[in-house]
Structure 1
Amino acid sequence: IGPMKRDLQISDFEMSLLQGFAFALFYTLMGLPIGRMVDSKNRVKIITIGIAVWSLMTALCGIAQNYWQLFIYRMGVGVGEAALSPSAYSMISDYFKPDRTGTALGVYGMGVYLGAGMAFIIGAEVVGAVSGVGTTELPVIGEVFPWQIVFLVVGIPGLGVALWAYTLKEPMRRGVKQDADAPSIAEVKAYMKANALTYTTLFVCYALAAMMAYGASAWTPEFLKRTYGMSIVDAGRAYGWIIMLAGTAGVICGGWTADKLSTRFRNGRMMVMAAAGVLTLPGAILTPLMDTSFWALVCIIPSTFFATFTTGVGPSAMQELTPNRMRGLVSAVMLFVVSIIGLGIGPTAIAVATDFVFQNEQDLWKSLLVVPALLLTLSSLIGFIGLKAYLKSRDYREAWEAKNT
């Protein structure tokens, strides 16, 4: 964050818009029509195009000449990534039996934390390698800052991943006639309205947890630098390994726990969603209060582990509540809510607290104390409120499918 702020001459608030709002804006807007396509079109092709677009746009961030060019390219990344999750959620629910979707979606979510952790680590190493030489002259591209090289290194290989994605097998859709049309938008709307309390509590619980996670992830390396004097390289490397190890372990453990609980309790997945905030809270509160970077990093480990529970459980809960050919659109609605609140506001909420409430860059630790604690408390409270409604919606889906399939 520091080098980008310096080279672009922007504030914490403007930086937060790049991290969250620029991406979330088109991610959410494009997610709804793409989600509708997922319910009736070839999902492998949708994923392939999406990966290619966001990889190209990520690489273009590496040649942006000013703040607004970078802002536009970040919006482009959002357009591409909007294709992935609705398609992946739908395909995974068809690849695996219902009692294994939590674990399967946890493995899918693991990729988020492996990728994020690697981005922090690789970014730190690249910045460390070239930070002492100012700008670098690249063939064809020209002069770039060290942080721009990170975008190029991360974005270009994604084009190869897009080619690999095209080789995936499109699964048969479970529980529907293969030649049946997807329900109309009016039918999906009526179904969601009949289960409004369940979907609302699930989506908002998930969104507030994501708001905390995105906000903390965006600002933790900078917090380590400002509060404890860690270098960008050391902060990125340390936090990257925590994200990779604790994050991947947490998302798989959360999905597995939800699968096990759902065999004993019909609202077991919602139980895990509600409990995640409570379990994350102690580490989140203790982290900014530590006297040394070592103990702050120690506290980040359990908070990261438990914070990632919702990544696999939220989508699997949505799948459990929703008929097959509605899942693409309903997952897009869920991602719309989660992205607008979580990604769109999360990083900015931390920056607003720092710039406008505490009014001191060195008080970033206060923002990371107050904002996550509030969000986690609200997330768990709303999750517990939705437990009873979740049971009713499980019954509603079974009755709907018995009547319509």
Structure 2
Amino acid sequence: MWGRSRPGAWYRWYHLALMTATYITGELSHFLVGIVSRQMAQELHYGDIGCVERENATDAGADCYTFTDNTSCTAVDACEWTYTGLGIQYQVLAGPAFIGAFTLAGLVFGSLADSYNRQRLLTFSTALLTVSTFLMGFATEYWHLVLFRMCTAAGEAGFAPLSSGMISDQFPPQLRGMAMSIFTWGIYFGYGISYAIGNYVSAADIMGQSWRWAYYVAAIPGAVLCCLHLTVHDPRTRQAVLSDGEHDLYRIKTSESEAAPVAAAEAAEGAGPRAGWWSRFVVDKLRVFLQPSILLLLLGASMRHTAGFCWSTNTQLYFQTYYPTADLGLWLSWVSIVGGSIGVTVGGVVSDRLVKRIGLRARIWVLSASQLVATPFAVGVLYFPPQWCFVSLLTAYLFAEMWFGVVLAIVVELVEPDVKSSTVAIFLFIINNVGGNMPLAVDGLGDVIGYRDALYVLYPGMYFASSVVFLLTAFALRRDGQPPAAAQEEMTES
């Protein structure tokens, strides 16, 4: 498995498919909580209590969400006064509980990835996510959900920084954007499949355990993928030899020609072999992230992430509130998969073609234009009833979801090759902490202007805001100058 012959083209596509499938399982586990939140809340008793449509109700036009007290609610046969699945405890579970662990673990994985075997780290993170997802089905208290969700987040945290670095090492610049886009299919397939599993498996009520079996089923693919990860390797192991030392089992050994000047410099300073590493790391990262173009890219990506998280963590509950009879397992699963995967692929292919002719700024123009076009269709999602809202959602996805793979491609092309993974990890740490915690604003803003209007502000509103900031990023990049020499050289290779 660890032979040194150069792998064929088929191998890198196989490795990409494996990393993409892993990302699918991660996003499935990530978004499943929003699909089964109402069933979990009613069994474990957390979150808001309100008027909802009774399960298997025959009167589909009761508009139960309009009743604000127990008496008026229970006067209608189709309605019941119970836990809605919404409320601050749900938003904490969906947002901060996940994002806190996700971003901190992402920094750890990203830092380790620059020096240690990324493939073995990815195998470990997959195993952690799988076990944690399975344990979610055994929760009997709200704090159990929080704990296991944090462990799930820590497992998924390694997927993007570890995989993006390995993808960048295996694919040339003219294919890198498309490869990153294929990898990010994992978001949309995982998100879409979560609606099918969350709705249909829960409805099957296997052994009377409804939502619990949704988590059991979601954990199965991860167990298979852990085994398949043993068939691939970190691309760096084709050029570097793994140390046999007990403490360096996962560390990539530096060649003698590279190690000598470093050791001499450290000896001259009278320092140990790792002395000064942290200060150099901080200085290098500050140099990268204080560039105006990177700061604006961070701001735009954080706004775009806010829109995505606020919608994705509230989609099921939004439709359960306003359109409880809609078949969400059918519509939201295929709309998310088709719209999202096509959108992100088109974004990668288009940006790859344009970047060869125009340069790196072309990728940023794709980001700005795609979010601007998606904005009115996102408004339509909240304005129109089913089935037109799903048509509008499909169209919004086709444009809005061009962004993530393109953003990752921009980041890895703006920095030196040997710090790609750690830079991606820090970038994701920032945008996930901003965007991932913004669902908390849905609850507070909803109390003031209403649930639907809060989503107008935080969903299509943030699409538009990110479009403006991405446009400014293109101008800032011109001012900052060209990417690092190593990255620029790769970009101009044919």
Taking structure 2 as the reference length, what is the TM-score of the superposition? 0.72
Cα distance change on mapping 1:187 and 1:99 into 2, 3 Å: farther
Instruction: Tell me if 1:268 matches 2:268.
Output: no
Q: Which amino acid aligns with 1:104?
A: A
Residue 8, structure 1, aligned to residue 44, structure 2 = yes
Write the letter of the residue equivalent to 1:84: F
Deviations 1:64-83 (A, max 9, x none): 11111101111111111111
Deviates more, 1:205-214 or 1:368-377: 368-377
- So what's the TM-score if we normalise by structure 1? 0.88
Between 51-60 and 148-157, the greater mean CA deviation after superposition: 148-157
- Tell me the residue number matched to 1:386: 473
- Judged with a 3 Å threshold, the aligned counterparts in structure 2 of structure 1 residues 247 and 209 are, in CA distance, closer, same or farther, namely same
Alignment of 1:98 with 2:173, yes or no, is yes
Deviation at 1:368, TM superposition (A): 2.1
Query: Which of 327, 344, 352 is residue 444 of structure 2 equivalent to?
Result: 352
Look up the equivalent residue of 1:202 and give its one-letter code.
L
CA offsets, 1:319-354, max 9 Å, x none? 110111111111011110121112222x32323322
Tell me the SS of whatever aligns to 2:307. helix
1:371 paired with 2:435, answer no
- Structure-1 separation of matches of 2:396 and 2:186: 19
Specify the alignment match of 1:141 in structure 2.
none
8 Å CA contact 1:52–1:162 kept in 2: the answer is: yes
Match of 2:128 in 1: 53
Q: 1:74 aligned to 2:149?
A: yes
User: How far, CA to CA, are the matches of 1:89 and 1:35 in structure 2?
Assistant: 10
Query: Is the alpha carbon distance of 1:388 and 1:59 closer, same or farther for their aligned partners in structure 2, counting shifts above 3 Å?
Result: same
Q: How far apart, in 2, do the equivalents of 1:112 and 1:400 lie?
A: 27
Q: Write the distance in 2 (CA, Å) between the matches of 1:93 and 1:280.
A: 28
1:185 deviates by: 0.4
Pairwise CA distance, 1:98: 1.4
Match of 1:139 in 2: none
Other-structure match for 1:121? 196
Q: Give the aligned partner of residue 393 of structure 2.
A: 300
Counterpart of 2:476 in structure 1: which amino acid? Answer: A
- The structure, 1 or 2, with the larger RCO (C-alpha pairs under 8 Å, 6+ apart) is 1
Query: Aligned residue for 2:221?
Result: 157
Cα distance 1:84–1:226, how it changes in 2: closer, same or farther (>3 A)?
Answer: same
Unaligned runs of 5+ in 2: 1-36, 49-85, 241-252, 263-276, 490-494
Q: Which residue does the alignment assign to 2:18?
A: none
- Letter paired with 1:255: G
Deviation per CA, 1:210-268, whole angstroms, max 9, x where unpaired? 1111211121222222212325xx11321111111111111111111111121122211
Structure with bigger gyration radius: 2
Deviates more, 1:58-67 or 1:213-222: 213-222
Q: Secondary structure at the match of 2:233?
A: coil
Correspondence for 2:247? none
Q: Indicate how the Cα distance of structure 1 residues 87 and 394 shifts in structure 2: closer, same or farther if over 3 A, else same.
A: farther
Pick the structure with more helix per residue. Answer: 1
Aligned to 2:93, which of 18, 28, 52? 18
Contact 2:192-2:334 at 8 Å conserved across structures: yes
Match of 2:117 among 29, 32, 42: 42
Structure 1 pair 173–164 and aligned structure 2 pair: CA distance change class (3 A): closer
Structure 1 residue runs of 5 or longer lacking an equivalent are: 137-144
Q: Give the counterpart letter for 1:117 in structure 2.
A: G
Deviation at 1:200, TM superposition (A): 1.2
Partner of 2:246: none
- 1:190 and 1:226, CA in 2 relative to 1: closer, same or farther beyond 3 A? closer
Q: Which runs of 4+ in 1 moved over 3 A?
A: 172-184, 391-394, 399-402
Which of 187, 198, 211 aligns to 1:112? It is 187
Aligned counterpart, 1:140: none
**2:375 touches 2:461 (CA, 8 Å); kept in 1?**
no
Q: Distance in 2 between matches of 1:185 and 1:319?
A: 17
Question: 1:172 matched to which residue of 2?
Answer: 236
Question: Structure 1 residue 106: deviation in Å?
Answer: 0.2
Separation of aligned partners in 2, 1:236 and 1:341: 29
1:204 aligns with 299
The alignment partner of 1:293 has SS state of coil
Counterparts in 2 of 1:163 and 1:330: CA distance versus 1, 3 Å: same
> 1:102 touches 1:258 (CA, 8 Å); kept in 2?
yes
1:90-139 CA-partner distances (Å, limit 9, x unpaired): 00000101122111000000122112211211221112211xx8x72xxx
Question: Does structure 2 retain, via aligned residues, the 8 Å contact 1:40–1:325?
Answer: no
- In the TM superposition, residue 399 of structure 1 has moved relative to its aligned partner by 7.6
Is the contact between residue 204 and residue 337 of structure 1 (CA under 8 Å) also seen in structure 2? no
Q: Go from structure 1 to structure 2 and tell me whether the alpha carbon gap of 1:104 and 1:375 turns closer, same or farther (over 3 Å shift).
A: same
CA distance in 2, matches of 1:95, 1:307: 27
Secondary structure of the 1:40 match is: coil
1:241 aligns with 2:334: yes
Measure the CA separation in 1 of the matches of 2:119 and 2:239. Answer: 20
**Structure 2: how far apart are the matches of 1:15 and 1:192?**
36
Q: Is the 8 A contact 1:175 1:324 kept in 2?
A: no
Sequence identity of aligned pairs in percent?
Answer: 25
Instruction: Tell me the distance in 2 between the aligned counterparts of 1:43 and 1:394.
Output: 31
- The RMSD of aligned alpha carbons is 2.5
SS in 1 for 2:379: helix
Task: State the 1:157 CA deviation.
Answer: 2.9
In structure 1, how many angstroms separate the alpha carbons of the residues matched to 2:320 and 2:390?
A: 12
Taking the aligned partners of 1:393 and 1:49, their CA distance within structure 2 comes to 38
Deviation at 1:175, TM superposition (A): 12
**d(CA) in 2 for partners of 1:276, 1:178:** 42
Deviations 1:261-298 (A, max 9, x none): 211222111112222321210111111111x3101111
Determine the C-alpha separation between the residues in 1 that align with 2:143 and 2:286.
Answer: 41
Other structure's SS at 1:64 match: coil
